[in-house]
Amino acid sequence: MGDCIFCGIAEGAIPSKKIFEDDETLAFHDLAPKAPVHFLVIPKRHIRNIMECGAEDGVLLGKLLLRAQGLARELGCGEGGARFVINCKSDGGQTVDHLHIHVLGGRGLGWPPG
């Protein structure tokens, strides 16, 4: 959609290190990783943020979350765990306005976030 970076990645117009792809979803490594494992799971359809989702998006959201979990396992986070994060709008620290789940793992992470 327009100049959305993640739509560009989903369409293949912008390169990324893809981990998984199907008709509706895509997972790729974050460009600026904040942990040894740091990847993003997105819907291919442009959804701005989690606040814009409704009941009709429930199945898609479930797929995204389960894909994030499965890939976290495959990338070695099954034992130690990981953090699954959805930043939303300005207070949530969202910088790319296309819904995405961050998965961070491979080291201990502090809480609460700053």
Contact range with ligand 5GP by CB under 6 A, out of 25-33, 45-53, 54-62, 70-78: 25-33
Task: Give the strand pairing for 25-29 and 18-21.
Answer: antiparallel
Q: Is 45 in the site for Zn ion (CB under 5 A)?
A: no
Least Å from the CB of residue 9 to ligand 5GP: 6
**From the list 25, 28, 99, 103, which residue makes contact with ligand 5GP (rule: CB under 6 A)?**
28
Between the alpha carbon of residue 44 and those of residues 9, 99, 112, the distances in Å are 9, 9, 30
Q: Residue written as tokens 């998984």?
A: 20
Tokens of 88: 């939303």
Active site residue 100: yes
> CB neighbours (10 Å) of residue 3?
6
Q: Is 51 in the site for ligand 5GP (CB under 6 A)?
A: no
53-72 binders of Zn ion (CB under 5 A)? none
Residue 83 host element (H or E): strand 82-85
Which residues are at the interface with ligand 5GP (CB under 6 A)? 5, 14, 16, 28, 30-32, 87, 93-96
Indicate which residues carry an active-site annotation: 100
